[in-house]
Amino acid sequence: MANSLFDNIFAGSGGVAETLLKSLGLEQGGKVILKPCESYDPKTGKTYKSPEEKFTVNSSPPLGYKLSEIDDTNILHGDLFCFIGASDLKRDISSVDPDRLIQSKFEINGLDLRIINADPIYSGELISAFKLQLRKAD
C-alpha cells in the first residue's frame, strides 16, 4: 500500500514534527542509548545478544509533568517527558520496538536519564514521533 501524502510529510526527512520543534526554537540534541536485546534462533538453539546502540536525536527539551498528571505510581515526582522525531535519525527509530526503548538511556544537557515509557505517536500507519517518559538514572 502506497504511503499517503500525509504520511510522507510526517515520516519523511524534514517532517512536521521536526519542523515544528525547529520553528518554536525547541529543538535540542539528545542521545538515545538503546539497551542490548536478546533474540533466540530456533534453528541453531542459540540466544544472541545485540550490542548497545547509540545515536543522536533531535528532541524537545525535557519538561516536568503537571501536578495533576503525577500519580506516584506510573508518573513520579521528578519525572520528565520529551518528544523525539522518528525520522530524524540515521537509523530509522520508527523500526525500533517501543518496548526496547523502555529502560534504555537518554542523555541530554548533561543529564543521564532512563526511559520509563515510550508512547509512539502515529501518522496513519507510521510512527512519526515518540513521547518519552524520563527518570533520573540511579
**Is 95 in contact with 39 (CB distance < 8 Å)?**
no
The pLDDT, as a whole number, for residue 15 is 57
The pLDDT, as a whole number, for residue 92 is 54
Measured torsion, CA atoms of residues 128, 12, 4, 86, in degrees rounded to the nearest 10? -10
The pLDDT, as a whole number, for residue 3 is 44
The pLDDT, as a whole number, for residue 22 is 62
46-51, long-range: CB within 8 Å, 24+ apart, which pairs?
none
**Is 131 in contact with 81 (CB distance < 8 Å)?**
yes
The pLDDT, as a whole number, for residue 26 is 53
Ordered domains of the chain (ranges, CATH): 5-136 (2.40.10.270)
Q: State how far the Cα of 3 lies from the Cα of 125, in Å rounded to an integer.
A: 9
pLDDT tens digit at each of 138 positions of the chain: 444 444 444 444 445 655 665 665 555 667 777 776 666 677 888 877 777 778 777 788 889 999 999 999 999 999 999 988 776 544 555 566 677 778 888 888 788 899 999 888 888 887 778 899 999 987
- pTM comes to 0.69
- Provide φ and ψ at 100, rounded to 5°: -75, -25
